[in-house]
Amino acid sequence: MSAFEFLFSFYGLLLGLTLVEVVSGFSRALDARKERPLGIILPLLTGVMIMDIATQWGSAWRDFREVEFSFRYLVAALFMTLAYYFSATQLFPRERSAVKSLDEHFFAHRAMILGGVLFANVLVTYDAMSKEFATGGADDVFWIRMTANAFWFATVIVALVAKPRIVVAVALAANLIFITYWLLR
């Protein structure tokens, strides 16, 4: 087994568990929609997280096939995926929660949800940037990807700090449309 296969299986397993947590949380929320309205924010955020996980998985496949094993990569993958997993566990309320709507749950937990997603993406972006600058390979494609990352970060930060529901919903919708376009182009 190569270093890439070892690291990617670990990374993929943890991202896969995160994806299951997101989708199962959405499924539970959909089942309980009569008691607790879905709203618009968490369904949009669910889409953002699913597409972001897909992006991270694909980027790891593209960028790390030649990587040598090191505990640095193992620990970075661990922290990144655990931050995602933590965010996924906070995304939807549990059965015992007394919140009346999913939008209410989001506003009560958004620092933990979006903070974990931002932390994970900062780790990945930092690693990609340090790798590019260390090899002197910051070409046009790299800068296009960094511009796309800047838009992604801006929309998530707006969703993190904005108070009006409509601003949060528009930021998440813009993020979801952009990341879907970026992946399918």
pLDDT digit string (tens) for the chain, length 185 residues = 787 788 888 889 999 999 999 999 999 999 999 989 999 999 999 999 999 999 888 888 877 777 777 888 788 889 999 999 999 999 999 877 888 899 999 999 999 999 999 999 998 877 666 666 666 666 677 777 788 889 999 999 999 999 999 999 999 999 999 999 888 88
Q: Tell me, what DSSP letter sits at residue 69?
A: P
Domain that holds residue 28: 3-184
Residues 171, 16: Cα–Cα separation, whole Å: 26
Cα angle 80, 152, 138; round to 5 = 80
Alpha helices in the chain (DSSP H): 3-31, 41-63, 71-91, 102-135, 140-161, 165-184
For 26, the token pair is 């959405």
Angular region, 39: left φ>0, alpha ψ -120 to 50, beta rest: left
Work out the number of other CB atoms within 10 angstroms of the CB of residue 101. 15
Contact 91, 46 (CB under 8 A): yes
Residues 31, 25: Cα–Cα separation, whole Å: 10
Q: How many domains does the chain have?
A: 1
